[in-house]
Chains A and B, each alone.
Chain A
């Protein structure tokens, strides 16, 4: 791997991921990004789990800390704020100095404020016939994907469909990288993760 990508890494950025359908791996991908930023790029990272209930407490909740007057957790170099409300997330985005990865459980009128605040917005969708509808519905909610650079999908599809999508929404479709364990990344995982954050 060349070291070119390690140059010019910003010290601060907000990244958020949403998905068109459920169980497409939003949390998995957010964890990959947060751990990559922290362990591979040595950046200060805050992970915000934007949902009513926490799914990660059992995994990352061993060491409790305080982050900007809020109770959080620290695990393998990443700071976590779990089961975070929209108001708290907004104030953290305003005040935290470093990378922020927002795991948005559900895209709604409330959470869209957070999504729109992020500099890097990622949508995960599936182009399986029974999920396609969800993708197009979400894209219309996002007003044609304004501001999205790439859309990630986790099922391989034809080149024609990719081209049509690019024409229609102005953002490209990329394959979702397969990363086995977000807490044990490999060097070969770095390239696709770099692409996702840039």
Chain B
């Protein structure tokens, strides 16, 4: 449905989309011979006001990554809006023919964060885009430009907005009509980064994967809250190392210890690592993410002390996992040794990952895909030398054979293993 009365000013070059009551046209603005997009909608259409609202929404947002709106006009029959024609290829088209390098991917992702940041910091209140998908991202070199604000809303109006969006790209709470804030766009940014990662040479990059997991987290409370934080994290990945780590050395690092199966000695080794570090005067806290190990220790250790949610006993410091009805304490500053049980996903969050396994042939060991990553170290426990050598050959990676018959004291054999694992990671001498 092409609007009447526009022929004096515009010449239709191409009809991009057309229905009985709406049309999106590529037009030539005759006066200066420039290409523009003309969106028209019939007055009687229930979403007729969306064209006006799109213009109002983008008013005053200062970003070169958003299309410029030239005019909003109306005829007897319809409203129409004329905006800048954003030249370039969509992200989807680009990725059909190209594979991104890690650097390119991060540059594009940061550019995407910049435009979303501009929307979320819009005055007088944030704007939620709600329609992020590769078709709406136009690539101009390494810069992303965002188009189509048809279902965008101001944050204060989000509660009344219809549950619209594209399945697989929109946040679950957006599609089900749940509570909406900036985090719905953060979810979609995560989906876009995931999409780019699949089509890139950085497919197995652990840090990117972890970031994506935190962005597309279905639980709103666990999802990253601000797009500026996402941008900072991407910049950290871009710079190759975390600024936080540079500031605080090893104090904010996390060592995750995970077993390939139950009863392979994960908890035992995690506690020993914690004690080893404390003996080396590195303040380390043990935490069991899955069970109440520290609680059980509370009742069984002699002359232990409890203060601010921490159990202190000789070289051991354990974070007590109180229930919901006890006031949470601020976590102490120090290195965290997290016992992840057999949860690989949780373990992948660690800066240093220790996988404990029993490589004996009768044991069923399922390895995570990232086992060959540099920050992952393997300990063969409760086993003899040969299965460890076989496993090392299979994985083309060093497997440390854990000494048997160790008591509560840290033996020289254990010390050698921990020293070897943590030397490069924590600058242990």
- Could you list which residues of chain A lie within 8 angstroms of chain B, going by C-beta atoms? 1-3, 6-9, 35-36, 38-40, 42, 76-78, 182-187
Evaluate whether A7 and B300 lie within 8 angstroms (CB atoms) in the complex, with A1-B306, A42-B292 already known.
yes
**B308 surroundings in chain A (CB, below 8 A):** 187
In Å, the complex CA distance between A78 and B303 comes to 30
- Asked if B386 is an interface residue, CB under 8 A from chain A, the answer is no
- Asked if B44 is an interface residue, CB under 8 A from chain A, the answer is no
With contacts A6-B298, A187-B308 known, what are 9 further pairs, Cβ within 8 A?
A2-B303, A2-B306, A36-B325, A38-B323, A39-B324, A42-B292, A77-B324, A183-B325, A186-B326
- Asked if B322 is an interface residue, CB under 8 A from chain A, the answer is yes
The 4 A-B residue pairs with the shortest CB-CB distance, nearest first, are A39-B323, A35-B325, A39-B325, A76-B324
**Smallest CB separation, A2 vs chain B (Å):** 6
- Asked if B327 is an interface residue, CB under 8 A from chain A, the answer is yes
- Asked if B34 is an interface residue, CB under 8 A from chain A, the answer is no
**B305 surroundings in chain A (CB, below 8 A):** 1-3
In Å, the complex CA distance between A7 and B306 comes to 13
In Å, the complex CA distance between A7 and B296 comes to 9
In Å, the complex CA distance between A34 and B304 comes to 25
- Asked if B4 is an interface residue, CB under 8 A from chain A, the answer is no
Evaluate whether A3 and B301 lie within 8 angstroms (CB atoms) in the complex, with A184-B327, A187-B306, A187-B309 already known.
yes
**A76 surroundings in chain B (CB, below 8 A):** 323-325
Evaluate whether A77 and B323 lie within 8 angstroms (CB atoms) in the complex, with A1-B306, A42-B292 already known.
yes
Q: Are B299 and A6 interface neighbours, CB within 8 A?
A: yes
Q: Are B299 and A38 interface neighbours, CB within 8 A?
A: no
CB nearest neighbor in B for A78 = B325
Q: Are A185 and B327 interface neighbours, CB within 8 A?
A: yes
Q: Are A42 and B311 interface neighbours, CB within 8 A?
A: no
In Å, the complex CA distance between A42 and B288 comes to 14
Within 289-347 of B, Cβ neighbours of A (below 8 Å) are at: 292, 295, 298-301, 303-309, 311, 322-327
**B298 surroundings in chain A (CB, below 8 A):** 3, 6
**Chain B interface residue bracket vs A:** 20 to 34
**B322 surroundings in chain A (CB, below 8 A):** 39-40
Please name 7 pairs of A and B residues whose Cβ atoms are closer than 8 Å in the assembled complex, sorted by A: A2-B303, A3-B306, A35-B323, A36-B325, A39-B325, A76-B324, A183-B325
CB nearest neighbor in B for A182 = B325
In Å, the complex CA distance between A6 and B299 comes to 5
CB nearest neighbor in A for B309 = A187
**Smallest CB separation, A179 vs chain B (Å):** 11
In Å, the complex CA distance between A183 and B309 comes to 17
In Å, the complex CA distance between A2 and B306 comes to 6
Q: Are A187 and B307 interface neighbours, CB within 8 A?
A: yes
Q: Are B311 and A3 interface neighbours, CB within 8 A?
A: yes
**B307 surroundings in chain A (CB, below 8 A):** 1, 187
**B300 surroundings in chain A (CB, below 8 A):** 7
Evaluate whether A184 and B295 lie within 8 angstroms (CB atoms) in the complex, with A1-B306, A2-B306 already known.
no
**Smallest CB separation, B307 vs chain A (Å):** 7
A38 touches which one: B295, B309, B325 (CB < 8 A)?
Answer: B325
Q: Are A9 and B299 interface neighbours, CB within 8 A?
A: yes
**B292 surroundings in chain A (CB, below 8 A):** 42
Evaluate whether A39 and B326 lie within 8 angstroms (CB atoms) in the complex, with A3-B298, A6-B298, A9-B299 already known.
yes
**Smallest CB separation, A194 vs chain B (Å):** 12
**A2 surroundings in chain B (CB, below 8 A):** 303-306
In Å, the complex CA distance between A7 and B301 comes to 9
Q: Among B307, B308, B309, B327, which residue has the most Cβ atoms of chain A within 10 A?
A: B327
Q: Are B299 and A3 interface neighbours, CB within 8 A?
A: yes
**B327 surroundings in chain A (CB, below 8 A):** 184-186
Q: Are B306 and A185 interface neighbours, CB within 8 A?
A: no
Q: Are A40 and B323 interface neighbours, CB within 8 A?
A: yes
CB nearest neighbor in A for B321 = A42
Q: Are B326 and A184 interface neighbours, CB within 8 A?
A: yes
**Smallest CB separation, A163 vs chain B (Å):** 34
Evaluate whether A185 and B325 lie within 8 angstroms (CB atoms) in the complex, with A1-B305, A1-B307 already known.
yes
CB nearest neighbor in A for B300 = A7
Q: Are B326 and A40 interface neighbours, CB within 8 A?
A: yes
Q: Are B299 and A185 interface neighbours, CB within 8 A?
A: no
**Smallest CB separation, A64 vs chain B (Å):** 18
